[in-house]
Structure 1
Amino acid sequence: MSRWIAFLDRRFRISEQGSTPLTEMRAGTVTFLTASYIIFVQPAVMAQAGMDFGAVMTATCLAAALGCLIMGLGANYPIALAPGMGINFYFTYTVVMGQGIPWQVAMGAVFLSGIGLILLTVLRFREVIINSLPNDIKVGISVGIGLFIAFIGFVQGGIVMAHPGTLVQLAPLNSLPAMFTVAGVGLIGILLQRKIKGAILIGMGVMTLAAMPFGLVKFHGVVSLPPDLTPTLLQLDIMGALDLGLLTIAAVFLFVDLFDTAGTLVGVGHQGGFLKDGRLPRVNRALWPDSVATTAGSVLGTTTVTCYIESAAGVAEGGRTGLASVVTALLFLLALFFAPLAKMIGGGYHLDHDTILYPITAPVLVIVGAMMAGNVTCIDWKSWDEALPAFLIMIGMPLTYSIADGMALGFILYPVIKVACGKVRQVHWIMHVIAVMFLLRYLTV
């Protein structure tokens, strides 16, 4: 056992990062448990596009595991990957259901976007983008993701709900999911304050056991065979996706993943202390996983794979190396055989016919959001040309429910305000290019 631990320590440079193998394993487990809802949400969404539920679930687990393995073994970062939320809704409701495009053709567009990401990674253009971001913009991204995560936690925990007049409002706090969410936040907060190791994981475990008698989580068994992948495997229509109109859709898939991944890498990197002089070491290696996993995932039968903001939960638990991502990858693979058990924790609670809540994982998102929001003090609030774009990013992410759209607000304003203030030399040329790209995206929609 000691030799195995020593091997892991050398392979992932765990001691150099001030961590331990046990901490990394615990962090990878927390990340998986926090992100495991995608195993069930993704097939539920894709099934509405006419895809087989079980096949999509298998494809989702395989694509996520591939991305996590490449990240952990290649880049040595505790950042997990899985099919991205948001882009899956765009795939189903806008492309397939809205435009009447067969899901096979739409999946071909996902494949083309993956090839595009690979080319941009080979050319190191994505690395240039991340390294050109100003420090206050990077902090704004980190805080914005934190606020976004917390907002998702509030929604998934039944604390806030939609309202036609005010968009959102406080949900009934006397509902069981809401009470468990609040209790979970309080429990984990107490454990963190008392500096209990594994606070997040312990909190999730206690809340899961406590929720069982109330029916918020259900024991469905332990082991099951993986669902058949055949209905979606190799079913994509690449030639159909090469149509000029479909190339625009492929560009949207590429564009969203480009900035979702960049934002998550910077945000989680800032939280974990990975940034050196404002830059993420080994950034090009960290940009390969989503490119390869997206391409492979489209072949298997799932949508764009991106870095997951839920990785912040594992980082908060102490994860600092790629071993955490490898553990997350293995758990995604194990989920294929232990789907009933994973569903108990990461699965949702049907409050009513149209509302699914996640009272066990939602508290974790709120806690991690609070942790990431602490970086707000690093912004130079006395410099409006730096602080205002960062603020727009922070407030934009949760209000637009999109990392990419939130980033767009700050990225467009940043070069404009700098140039207007006579500070054009302070703006990296790539920031001008990104601002124009964002403008073209919204002006042509």
Structure 2
Amino acid sequence: MSLDSFFQIKQNGSTLTREIVGGATTFVALSYIIFVQPAVLYGCGMDKSAVMFATCLCSALACLIMGLWANLPIALAPAMGHNFFFTFTVCGPIAAGGFGLTWQEALAANLIAGFLFLLISLAGLRNIIMNAIPEGLKFAIAAGIGLLIACIGLRWAGIIVDHPAAYVTLGNLKNPVTLLSLYGLLIIGIFLALKFRGAILIGMIFTAVVGYIVTKVWGSAWEYVLVSGASAAEFPQISETAGKVFTSAGLGSLFSHRFQAVILVIFTFLLLDVFDTIGTLVGLGQRAGLMKDGQLPRAKQALMADAFGTLSGTIMGTSTITSYVESSAGISVGARTGLAAVVTGLLMLISVFAYPFVEVFGTEVSIPPEQLGAAPADVPVQCFPVVAPVLIIIGCYMLPVVRHIEWDDFSEAIPAFLTIVVMQFSLSITDGIAWGFIAYALLKLFSAKPHKCPLVVYLCAALFILYYIFGR
């Protein structure tokens, strides 16, 4: 059987060349995650090389399933936003508003959520769940996560620092690390404005190269390490994370925490996965002209690819894997079939050997707070000057959905606003979602519009209230 007949390339109005170019284009557009994901999960104690290996391997697997089974030009990789929820909320210290889980326990919770998502996909409940959540809350959650990612990016760049009286303040913009981050933000912004393919990846390369040159030539305060300890003998260290979810430190101890807190973590992982996956699949299907009678062909298989990606990811050692909106880059150059996803998957698989570059792009720099313009403290500030600009740009990507919120209807606007704002000031995606659900239910109930609030929202709001009263 030829590639044309297997993928129905001509039938979908494409060519072999377009599919290959489309798959490669999508890979370049999303390849930043190969370097960002290890830096993010490193924040909760996970090994960078293991995370990078798991990211490439499981993304490749999910892409191959999507391409070969669903025959859709949609790539999959770890979801931005989910990884921050994983690190800063689920694994964040309880004193700082987090749940205090270890990364092994967080993987276990994510595994359970992935299994539930698989059951939802098999049972065909996806549309029921998706329609049960008001559009305004969906958009607010997406925008809130985007802003939270951008805020963390600003901190990792040293642009925003802690202040004892004003919560945060502008950092020392003369610091070499901050200057390099600002350069990275500018160069990525320029490439995006000029509509360069792979603007984010190219911008990261430019930033890393400039940082290295400046350090070598002018002796900047940033000691840039081109390759930090990576060698063929120790690469890849997948054993650091693979299978840890099934150990006594993972599933074995997950429910040693407060039951209601664990359930809330699993629910949030599941909710985010459902929103991201279905929303992205529908949006990309519309852009590619693949929708038939308002439905995406082989949607069930596409959701299964997402579920298997997440399940394999948690087993190997990375956070939720979902459909990537960057697939639109490949679609824009003509990709219409699963061959494009297969090409992207194969390139992700080859990227396993790019680990030394993870050390280049993801190197953290420890800086005394006073050098960044913050109050003196014993604990240094961790900055990621190459990754930070990417996070700020991703926040920009995710914010435009707020235009779809009905700001003239205060029963819609206030819950959306609280969702977005509470996420930022609590540094918690879960709390933002909780406040949004509670406000939505109460405002609809007491504004003579109780029938306009889905029963699921009332139920979730009640559970969130009980959690704040008895479980926090």
- Asked whether the two chains share a fold, i.e. TM above 0.5, the reply is yes
Equivalence for 1:368: 394
User: Greater CA deviation, 149-158 or 72-81?
Assistant: 72-81
Alignment partners' CA distance in 1, 2:275 and 2:5: 34
> Which one of the candidate residues 262, 265, 272 is aligned to 1:260?
272
Contact 1:28–1:326 under 8 Å retained in 2:
no
Alignment partners' CA distance in 1, 2:112 and 2:187: 45
Identity %, equivalent residues = 29
User: Which segments of 5 or more consecutive residues in structure 2 lack a partner in the other structure?
Assistant: 216-221, 369-378
Contact 2:62–2:76 under 8 Å retained in 1:
no
Q: Tell me if 1:349 matches 2:365.
A: yes
The Cα RMSD (Å) is 4.4
Amino acid at match of 2:85: G
Amino acid at match of 1:426: K
Contact 1:37–1:347 under 8 Å retained in 2:
no
Contact 1:350–1:357 under 8 Å retained in 2:
yes
Deviations 1:45-104 (A, max 9, x none): 335xxxx77556544543444445545664643452268233245665669xx9999987
The DSSP-based 3-state class of the residue aligned with 1:46 is coil
Q: Which has the larger radius of gyration?
A: 2
Equivalence for 1:227: 236
Number of positions where the alignment pairs a residue of Structure 1 with one of Structure 2: 430
Contact 2:51–2:241 under 8 Å retained in 1:
yes
Equivalence for 1:38: 37
Q: Tell me if 1:218 matches 2:234.
A: no
User: Greater CA deviation, 130-139 or 258-267?
Assistant: 258-267
Alignment partners' CA distance in 2, 1:244 and 1:59: 27
Q: CA deviation at 1:388?
A: 1.5
Q: Tell me if 1:62 matches 2:72.
A: no
Q: CA deviation at 1:5?
A: 9.9
Alignment partners' CA distance in 2, 1:87 and 1:12: 42
Deviations 1:190-239 (A, max 9, x none): 34444445443433332232222134653229983632444654452378
Equivalence for 2:356: 340
Amino acid at match of 2:167: L
Contact 2:29–2:198 under 8 Å retained in 1:
no
414 and 128 in structure 1: CA distance in 2 versus 1, 3 angstrom threshold? same
Equivalence for 1:305: 320
Q: Tell me if 1:400 matches 2:426.
A: yes
371 and 227 in structure 1: CA distance in 2 versus 1, 3 angstrom threshold? closer
Q: Tell me if 1:204 matches 2:199.
A: no
Alignment partners' CA distance in 2, 1:20 and 1:13: 11
User: Which segments of 5 or more consecutive residues in structure 1 lack a partner in the other structure?
Assistant: none
Matches within 5 A, 1:227-306: 227-230=236-239, 232-235=241-244, 236-237=246-247, 240-241=252-253, 250-265=262-277, 281=296, 287-289=303-305, 291-300=307-316, 302=317, 304-306=319-321
329 and 354 in structure 1: CA distance in 2 versus 1, 3 angstrom threshold? farther
Q: CA deviation at 1:158?
A: 1.8
Q: CA deviation at 1:335?
A: 4.0
Deviations 1:11-45 (A, max 9, x none): 996969xx975455334323221452322553563
When normalised by structure 2's length, the TM-score is 0.72
Alignment partners' CA distance in 2, 1:86 and 1:142: 13
Q: CA deviation at 1:383?
A: 1.0
Q: CA deviation at 1:160?
A: 0.9
Contact 1:157–1:181 under 8 Å retained in 2:
yes
The DSSP-based 3-state class of the residue aligned with 2:162 is strand
Q: CA deviation at 1:410?
A: 1.5
Alignment partners' CA distance in 2, 1:245 and 1:36: 32
Amino acid at match of 1:80: A
Alignment partners' CA distance in 1, 2:55 and 2:132: 32
Alignment partners' CA distance in 1, 2:340 and 2:354: 20
> Which one of the candidate residues 74, 77, 92 is aligned to 2:74?
77
User: Greater CA deviation, 71-80 or 125-134?
Assistant: 71-80
375 and 41 in structure 1: CA distance in 2 versus 1, 3 angstrom threshold? closer
User: Greater CA deviation, 263-272 or 251-260?
Assistant: 263-272
Alignment partners' CA distance in 1, 2:32 and 2:105: 32
